[in-house]
Amino acid sequence: MQMPIDVPPPALESSVRLPVTRLRAGLVERVEDRVAEEVPVALVYNGISHAVMLASPLDLEDFALGFSLSEGIIDSPDDLLDFELQHSDLTGTRSMVVDGQAREEVGLTLDLRVTLRCFMRLKERRRTLAGRTGCGLCGTESLAEAVRPVRREAAVLEVKAAALTRAMQELAAQQDLQRGTGAAHAAAWCALDGAVQFVREDVGRHNALDKLIGRIARDGLDVGAGFVAVTSRASYEMVYKTASAGIGLLAAISAPTGLAVRTAQAAGLVLAGFTRGDHTTLYAHAERVLGR
């Protein structure tokens, strides 16, 4: 799989510095603040547009692969044959006047070429769903598609409770975009002892997780040798994406939903919520977390 990627131009950095007015205890300060960027990113498969996401312009190669895997568009990294990133001005549709000057917002297109088998399956899925009311999920156009069974069983693993504590502590220290802007979620791949191996960030929690899954798949890592920690709630989609990647444990800093818990139980995924400091709440397969 050859996936060349352009370096985003300065206009597509992950954050920008903007003049702001800060009010503190009745005092007015005019200072510069670092603000996270988000841009529309279109995912196009073999010439057919499938989805448009608002995302941080970071690690887009990982995002393309992770999204394609977690959404079931491809079955393995080898199914993604080529990748090209294109930049475009959203002329006429997103022109904004800032300080008296018009600015054209910038969008990105990820042109992806997948195997014929995967492309025909995607076309059939789109043909079947054509004309139905959208439910707002990524590439999903029917209620039946909104809640999907996980395609594979999660890896069976055991970890110590202390590993979850370590993972969250180390994750907090590695959130560069969040630390600078306060506007980004993060997903971390952690060894079984909780040591954070690498982190992906994005303004969207699902995007951050897709980027992480893409990196794991691209590097061919053993999904049974680690777990995922995220700085968000554990929604159904977060659980679905994690379990579909074959990963055995998801630790979230906030709460899960009932649907997420049921999905984790059915998929064999250990689900931990409210993982903060030395506290965590285990919602699914608690017997695999030792030292409780």
DSSP for 96-113 reads: EEETTEEEE-EEEEEEEE
pLDDT beyond 90 at 10 = no
Is the whole-model pTM more than 0.75? yes
At 192-210, the pLDDT tens digits run 999 999 999 999 999 999 9
- Predicted confidence at residue 222, as pLDDT, reads 97
Q: How far apart are the first and last CA of the chain?
A: 43
Alpha helices in the chain (DSSP H): 60-70, 116-129, 143-146, 161-173, 176-181, 205-218, 236-244, 258-267
Structural domains in the chain (count):
2
Q: Are 142 and 14 found together in one domain? A: yes
Buried-exposed string 154-167: b where 16+ CB fall within 10 A, e elsewhere: bbebebebebbbbb
Q: Report how far Cα 81 is from the mean position of its chain's Cα atoms.
A: 21
State both tokens at 188.
Answer: 């971390």
Q: Report how far Cα 114 is from the mean position of its chain's Cα atoms.
A: 21
Lowest mean per-residue pLDDT among 15-29, 111-125, 253-267:
15-29
Which of these three, 146, 181, 212, is where a domain ends? 146
Name the residue range of residue 68's domain: 10-146
Which of these three, 146, 179, 203, is where a domain ends? 146
Which of these three, 100, 118, 146, is where a domain ends? 146
At 79-97, the pLDDT tens digits run 999 999 998 766 545 455 4
- In this prediction, what percent of the chain has a pLDDT beyond 90? 71
pLDDT beyond 80 at 266 = yes
Active site residues: 135
At 142-167, the pLDDT tens digits run 555 666 778 778 899 999 999 999 99
